[in-house]
Each structure stands twice: as C-alpha cells, then as structure tokens.
Structure 1
C-alpha cells in the first residue's frame, strides 16, 4: 500500500517563542496558543514566500503566485497520494473509445464564471487550443484536438492512443474564460491581475506583502465555509516558525526546529509529513540550448551524485524527515514495482563514494589542482547554486553539500535570491545549479514526473521560459519511451515496464537533475481553529499549502471550529 509507513510519521515542532508581530505587518493581531490573526473564518497561510509578492494569477505562468484550483479549475481532481477515483469538478463523466484515441467529457451545465458569464464547452475547447498555440503554457505536453459537441460535451481526439494523457488533461489543465482570454494578444505573458474563474475563491485584495482570496458566493459547489484565505510574505522559514509560535498563521508547509514535537510546543497545532516531492540539484544541462558551465558535462553531474552524503544532509538540513530517492525518479515506496531492475543503483547511495566520484572525473579528463579543486582545460570545477533567501532547510543543505563536494574536489558557491528572482532565473535557464524539488503529476505514476521534467516538449532555449523542464534536457530515447507509454493503458504494467527501464537507465546516466533525497513534506496547521484537515488516515489531498490544486480541495473541506 502507498506510503503506509510514512503516513504514520506525524511530525511536530518547537521554536523559540519570539514575538512575530513585527514580521506580520499589515493589521495582524492575536495571542498565539492556536488563535490565528485572521479571524474565525479567515485562514492565514505562509507558503515560504520570501520577499514581496508580484501580482501574477496566470495559472500557466511559472511565476504565478496562486490560481490553480482556487480561482481556476480543472475538469477533475486527481489525488496523487493514492489510487482513488478522480473527483468531478467542471467535468462530471469521461470515457475513452476502445483504442484510446478519443476522450469524451461531459461538463456541468450549472457553472458560471465569477463575472456572471455562463461556462460552456467552448471555454474548454478554447483553453486546449490556447495551450497548443503557446508551447510555454503547455506544461502537460497536450497534443490533442478538441471539439465542442454541444454546451456540455467535449470530444478530444488524438492521432495515437493517449491513455496517459487522461489524468493530465483532466486534472492539470486549468480552464479559462474565452470571453476574456480570447482578447489577450499573448496569454503566455499576461499576469492576469484581475482573474475571473469558476473556482471556489476569487481574488479579494492584493498588496506586495499579502494577498487575500475570498469565498465565491456563486460557486457551483456552494459557497465555502472558509470565507477568506490570506497569504503572507515573510522573510523566510525562521520568520514562519516564529509566526507559528505566536499563533499568527494557520497553515504553513516547511521546516521548524524540533519538528518531532509540534503538538507539545504549539498548543492547538498539529503536523503531518508525506514523502512526495523529490529534492534535486537542478542543472542547466544542455549546452546546445545555451546552458553554460561545468554542469553541462554529465560526468560532473554523476560525480556530484556519488560525492553526496545523503544521511548527513537528511540529518543536518531536514531533521530526518526525508527518505531514500531512486536515480530513476520512481518513488521507492509508491512506485516500488516500477523501479527498474536495470539501474546501477535502484536507490541513490546514502553514503558518499569518493573513489567513484574521482574515477568519473579523471576519466573525463579532470585533474586536481594544488588547491584541491579539479580543473579541465584550465577551467576549475566551480559552480554557483541558487537558492531562495530564507529557505533555511535548503540553505543548510547547500552548506552541507558544499563541504562534502569540496572533499571531492568540486567547489560550489550558494547564491541567495528573492523568490521572484529565483523563479525567473529557473524558468529562463540563467543558472548553473539550483536546489529545488520535482513535483508529481495528477496520478500516482512516475510517467508524469518524466513527462514534465524530462520531455523535450516542455523545455526551451536559455533566455526563454521553460515549463517545467528547467534543465533544458533532451533525449531522443526518453522522448520515444514517453510517446510509447502514452499509448498504453496504465493497467498493462508488463507492456509499460520496458519503457520505464529505458527512461530510468537513461536518466541515471545523464542525470540532468541530480537526486538528493525524497523530501518529507511537512505541514503545520491550526487544528484548534479549523476542522477538516487531511490526516495520516485520510489523505484526501496532498497536504502542502503550495501544492495546487490540492490546497483548494483542503480549503473547501475546512470549517471554522464550532460550525
């Protein structure tokens, strides 16, 4: 069963109880002890945002700050934490024809956009056509042709069987209103400051330090009992921990000191840890697309992989909440049966192998200088790695990794940026290394992480926005395997595995994203102020404030205490 052992690792935390009122400028008040500053029906959230927000509610922008799930909806909701039936949203039913080349979807007929206009099948067709015309918006790799049969029925056809397209098309494409977006010259670049959607929330107010979503009274599913969600910008993880200690926020996803003891140290709060997102060192890997630096050499990437002491990183940076990762990027627990037996290491080594790192570099022509750092052709093996200011766990991880790599003759220099700068740098490819995580797709299957982060269709040359193949990776073998997997029903595991073997063994050799650990995503939440949170026994959505659209499903399930 998926994540059974991990689900029971409910985590909790402790920090110095420094007052956080100064950090929460903008009218916050409250006395801690589980009483947040937002009011009885307002949830105050902290996503880890460091620095001012920039208004961007375009759900297809790599720099958007919110929108998917809350303001804009998909046709269905897929719960990535386990095998469950997709939940109807704008769609009510769907079916494939016998050979998987035609997908028919029935839509709700009682849905209105938040400006009062009627939602119809034309909006769905417009959205699908729009992302086809603008590749940077097409982060699921959609390649179908959509047709409105009538106002509540859509037919999508594909040149080849496209079974694996289903969960992405139905669960990860955000439907937008044709009557607004059809007038935008280039929707890939519009930041949509005044978003109109069908979702349970609308934009209420925006300031650089905080923005607020308000319940949509005309929502087809009924107005949420949670009336407002207020997102704060703070200075990083420590200020988030301080705010939690002072009872100023209701939900954050991120580390706090003494993560084992949240319920003891924060009366009224609880926490849960779920291993899902895979922590990596992203590399701008493809010199043919404009990447520059030593990391464009696969030998450098593999040497870094073998030089890491993952046990030490987990202990010092992540308080033991992370777990093993596979170099083929199938989740070791959830996807156990799909982890390729042809991998050199089915699990990334938890202890460093200095001899192997040395062997890889020296075979590639690197020689160690008098300062202990390798060089080739007169260029030292020195790399910059970018991280968001205030992300203390990642900053600690980089400090630890830097010491480990120095022993292996590789020098890295961490560079802290605001989230906005970091996000733009990542999208444009203006970096050598970045510490980040790969996120899963709409269904519990490794196909989606491959199609997002390793498909040539989701990348772009340096200087143009990639979404989300930020490494600029291209592999004919991986592209071909993905194309074949798309044609095979997910139930046919025997037919699918050879293609997974191809992808995983190729990724182990090329390593455009260097595997660090499977991150244990921990959320701390105000269980005294609100009821209905996901629990270890009921993970009805992935419980991370920045996980979209899961966060919207959670908002819809929450009720102010006493109601």
Structure 2
C-alpha cells in the first residue's frame, strides 16, 4: 500500500487494502456537519477495455484478494464492491472537493427543526426499485428501524429516537438532542425495499441477487469478475451512457500494464511516478488526478513512555523533513500539512488566523533538540540519550505486505536518526495490525486521517477518547478537554460556530501534538479519454474520481461520461 493513500477513516465505503487505500470500510456513525439545508433539485465477460462503440467500460473497483465474494448485503461491513452506488443508493452526499457542497440523490432536500432535534427529508418522487416498483418513504423508515432493531452495522448507522413517513415521499427523524453532526450519516442511508427485506436476516443473508434503486443490475458474476448492465428504467436518468461496466480483479502488478494496453479504462491505485509511468506514455488520452481528501500522520502511542511526554512528541515532529517525504513515491502529487492537521490548500477556510503559518516543511533539528532537552534527553556523540546514558529508541509499526509504505517509513526513520534516535521499521502481517493498534502493542505507527465537509469528524476520529485504538485515534490519546469540546461542537449549526470550535482543536494539535501531521493523501485515479470523456478534474471536481469511491461519486461519474466518438 502506498503511504500517500493509507487511509483509516473515510466518508464512504472503501475497499479493504486491495488498492492500497487502508483497512477501513467507512465511518460507522461518523458525521459531517453541513450547512446546505436544502438542495436542488456467472462466467466472466472476456477481459478487455471498454469502448464507446459497445458502450462498455472496464474499471478496477479494488477487490481484495484473488476472488470476489458474492455478498451484496448493504448491511454487511464486508459487502462486495459494487453493492453501493451501482445497486443501493444513498439519500444524499456532500462533495468535500467543492467545500462540502450538497449533492442530492434519492433525496432532493432536507431541513432541520426543533433546534436540531428533528430533520425532514424529501425524497425524489421518481425513485424506483430495479423490479419496477416505487421507492417510498416507508422503505426508508423500514430500513432505519430494521438496522436499529437488529443492531446491524452499516456504515451510516446512527442513534435516533423515532423515524416516520407522514406521506409517500417524506421522511421525518427525531432525536433526543441536537443532531446536526449526524448529517453525513443521515445522507448515507441506503434504503432497501421493505417487501424483500422484512423476511431476510440482515446479519447473515448475502443477498446474491439484489433489488436496488441504482442505475445498474448485476448481469454476470464469477469469482474473477463482476459485470453490471445499465437499467432501461433507471429513475434518475433515462439513458445511462455506459451500458456495461466490467469489474475484474486487477492485481497491483497488472494494473499499469492493463492501463497502458487499454484493457483498463479507469483505476484507483496509486501508481508510483504516475506521470512517467502512465501520463507521458499517451498525454492526449492518459490522465491521473489525486485530489486531497486527507492527511498522513505519525501516531505516537500515548499509553507508552516516552510518548506520553509532549516535549518528546514535539521533538520528533520537529525532526521530520516533510518536503523530502513528498518525493518518496509520487513527486508533485501531494503537499505538506499544516501543523493543525488540516491541509492549507483545501481546508484553509477552517484554519484560524493564528495558525495560518503553522507550517514546518523542513526538519528543524536545533528546535527539536531543545524540546528533547526539556524531556531530559541530550545528544552526545551522535546519540540522543537520557540522564542514564540510554539512547532513545523505538520502532515504527507497518503492514509488511505494503512494500512502498515500509519504504516511506524507512525514510522517516532515517530523518529521526539525524537527531540521534535509534529508529527501526517493524513490518507486521496485515491481519495483526488492527489488533495491535487496538491493544496499544506498538511504539509509533503511520496512518491517514480523512477530511469531511467540516473539521468536526476529522478531530473526533483522531482525538475522541472513546475512539482510542480505532478510527484514527491510533495513539490512544485521551483528553477530557478534547472530549468536552467535541460534545459542544456537535451542536454547532453554522460555519462561524464550527470555525470557533475548530480553532480550539487546532490549538490542541499544535500545543499538545497528539499526532504529527506529515503530508496530504489523495483520491487516486487514472483514466483514459480514448473511449470516454466527461471525467472529473481539478477544473471540474464534481466527484471524488476513484472507482472505489463508490456511492454517489462513482455513479455521478458513470452518468456524466460521454462517448469520445460518435
């Protein structure tokens, strides 16, 4: 896995590891505040790239492993790629690439009432299921109650008091306290047809032949490839331009050759030196876009000495040369992070004035050693030692299967050694990583945190005590101050109030260094315009560009594409 895309928390379902994107599937109960209160509206198909002539496209959805499981249960944490978006759709979304812009989908708008204790959602009256029946508000209410009653873990799950359907196209959800911070989870609800699921076991049923509201039906299944066929009666757009989507298993080794040969139209792996390996081979048709959606962090284990000492954490952060890290895998694709943890370029509107210049692109060893001195360490004969002469030493835990991530960590280790610290990279089998993170059985690890439409969930993922060892609080950071602040921020309903709270979290990041911000991570995407045009780009960022983004993003792209010829 490429360290520039090692993700632990994302706004939507993600594949687990196969595209070097991290182990997290999506944010259970995670919420993003938004201020848009209303909106506008089974044998495999033979391998081969798509074409405008046959209206097909081949995409790398990022299947993990060497076989595809036939599990299209939208309530399962390990639902097969292609479950969401293609077949089951969300109510609405927020485009973080456009500042959290509201994107209507099954729902056209929503409105809060009763001080954030009630939300009314208006469904698109055109919406229907793939069997031709209407999608109604009762289906949405059933889905909410079904998840609650059966204690199911879909990525959007959240606590609520009551859900009701005053009419066929209106849903009302009430809460016992202001729920503004749950809006992203509410938007992520993927309704199922009540008539089918009321007799299914959501905890066990693999739902091999799904009836969904999305633009595609599963045409063929094999353990090596999924083939989706566009619906003739899709409610949102009568003529779906891409008639067939082929989704074969693509290995890391075969990704670039298949992109270059034209067998693969659209992929989402991080291609090292993508400009040289892919774009320059055919500049007219080959394109790559890795827009920022999060950051890479050095996580210290706060439950272990000496990482419980803020001066040690500050010393380590000051010893890192972030500008060098930018060139480890993909020069020119990323940038360094502000020390608040936010990216100045894409999250700058949330950064308080006093932290606008909180940047540290180069290592600052003199300041680093000054911090270490406050913690009782001095540099002698090239070694950073404590009062007893013992050298500061530790290991960076990494997934051994991710060779490029191991290399990235080795660069960080070499930088810290310049401060006199003995650092080694400790590769661990991927199957063991989560358990070690949860138990705190490590010294330091490197991972990613994802941005939302406001900083609330970003800081909650990383700083909330109850998230110790999970989401992005890998360092087991526990602070009553941060916990209380999160509770207050959850009730904020306007941008000015959110920014006021964000500034206080930014102070925690800069002063207490719960984790050291490194560089940005990007939504990797490679695509060809030889057969299809209309892809999202920096000039038109209407969707996150990776095929594994799923949901509203991937479908927005497939519905927006047009044949390059004819």
With the length of structure 2 as denominator, give the TM-score of the two structures. 0.76
Q: Distance in 1 between matches of 2:437 and 2:227?
A: 26
In structure 2, the partner of 1:477 is 481
In structure 2, the partner of 1:244 is 259
Alignment of 1:136-175 (within 5 A): 137=154, 143=160, 145-166=162-183, 168-175=184-191
Q: Distance in 2 between matches of 1:472 and 1:192?
A: 37
In structure 2, the partner of 1:499 is 501
Moved more, 266-275 or 467-476: 467-476
Deviation at 1:85, TM superposition (A): 5.3
- Closer/same/farther in 2, CA of residues 403 and 427 from structure 1, 3 Å limit: closer
Q: Deviations over 1:200-235 (max 9, x none)?
A: 234444555443443344432236221333334444
Q: Distance in 2 between matches of 1:508 and 1:132?
A: 39
Aligned partners of 1:123 and 1:176 also within 8 Å: yes
In structure 2, the partner of 1:558 is 561
Partner secondary structure for residue 315 of structure 1: coil
Alignment of 1:309-348 (within 5 A): 309-343=321-355, 346-348=357-359
Q: Distance in 1 between matches of 2:386 and 2:249?
A: 42
In the alignment, structure 1 residue 382 sits paired with structure 2 residue 382: no
In structure 2, the partner of 1:488 is 492
Q: Distance in 1 between matches of 2:482 and 2:531?
A: 48
- Closer/same/farther in 2, CA of residues 198 and 422 from structure 1, 3 Å limit: farther
In structure 2, the partner of 1:107 is 123
In structure 2, the partner of 1:307 is 319
In structure 2, the partner of 1:447 is 456
Partner secondary structure for residue 487 of structure 1: coil
Aligned partners of 1:137 and 1:467 also within 8 Å: no
Q: Distance in 2 between matches of 1:513 and 1:158?
A: 34
Aligned partners of 2:323 and 2:362 also within 8 Å: yes
Partner secondary structure for residue 360 of structure 2: coil
Q: Distance in 2 between matches of 1:155 and 1:59?
A: 22
Moved more, 110-119 or 96-105: 110-119
- Closer/same/farther in 2, CA of residues 371 and 235 from structure 1, 3 Å limit: farther
Of 97, 100, 109, the match for 1:81 = 97
Deviation at 1:539, TM superposition (A): 1.5
- Closer/same/farther in 2, CA of residues 480 and 179 from structure 1, 3 Å limit: farther
Q: Distance in 2 between matches of 1:507 and 1:63?
A: 33
- Closer/same/farther in 2, CA of residues 138 and 241 from structure 1, 3 Å limit: closer
Deviation at 1:149, TM superposition (A): 1.8
In the alignment, structure 1 residue 541 sits paired with structure 2 residue 543: yes
Q: Distance in 2 between matches of 1:383 and 1:366?
A: 18
RMSD: 4.1
Q: Distance in 1 between matches of 2:189 and 2:173?
A: 14
Q: Distance in 1 between matches of 2:170 and 2:367?
A: 57
Partner secondary structure for residue 333 of structure 1: helix
Q: Distance in 2 between matches of 1:147 and 1:397?
A: 51
- Closer/same/farther in 2, CA of residues 175 and 379 from structure 1, 3 Å limit: farther
Q: Which runs of 5+ in 1 are unaligned?
A: 1-25
Deviation at 1:505, TM superposition (A): 1.8
Deviation at 1:58, TM superposition (A): 5.1
Q: Deviations over 1:418-465 (max 9, x none)?
A: 6xx488669866764554432233x3x2234234444456x37x6xxx
In structure 1, the partner of 2:521 is 519
Partner secondary structure for residue 538 of structure 2: coil
Aligned partners of 2:292 and 2:334 also within 8 Å: no
- Closer/same/farther in 2, CA of residues 137 and 362 from structure 1, 3 Å limit: farther
Deviation at 1:542, TM superposition (A): 1.9
Q: Deviations over 1:235-261 (max 9, x none)?
A: 42x542232222221112322435168
Partner secondary structure for residue 538 of structure 1: coil
Moved more, 113-122 or 306-315: 113-122
In structure 2, the partner of 1:215 is 230
Q: Deviations over 1:47-81 (max 9, x none)?
A: 56664355355556655552333322111232221
- Closer/same/farther in 2, CA of residues 314 and 110 from structure 1, 3 Å limit: same
Q: Distance in 1 between matches of 2:111 and 2:323?
A: 46
- Closer/same/farther in 2, CA of residues 182 and 374 from structure 1, 3 Å limit: farther
In structure 1, the partner of 2:363 is 352
Deviation at 1:553, TM superposition (A): 1.3
Aligned partners of 2:164 and 2:172 also within 8 Å: yes
In the alignment, structure 1 residue 273 sits paired with structure 2 residue 289: yes
- Closer/same/farther in 2, CA of residues 175 and 316 from structure 1, 3 Å limit: same
- Closer/same/farther in 2, CA of residues 284 and 115 from structure 1, 3 Å limit: farther
Aligned partners of 1:48 and 1:391 also within 8 Å: no
Deviation at 1:195, TM superposition (A): 4.5
Partner secondary structure for residue 542 of structure 2: coil
Q: How many residues were matched structurally?
A: 515
In structure 2, the partner of 1:530 is 532
With the length of structure 1 as denominator, give the TM-score of the two structures. 0.76
Q: Which runs of 5+ in 2 are unaligned?
A: 1-43
Q: Deviations over 1:252-301 (max 9, x none)?
A: 232243516854413653324354222324648464xxxx7976776655
Q: Distance in 2 between matches of 1:308 and 1:209?
A: 43
In the alignment, structure 1 residue 404 sits paired with structure 2 residue 415: yes
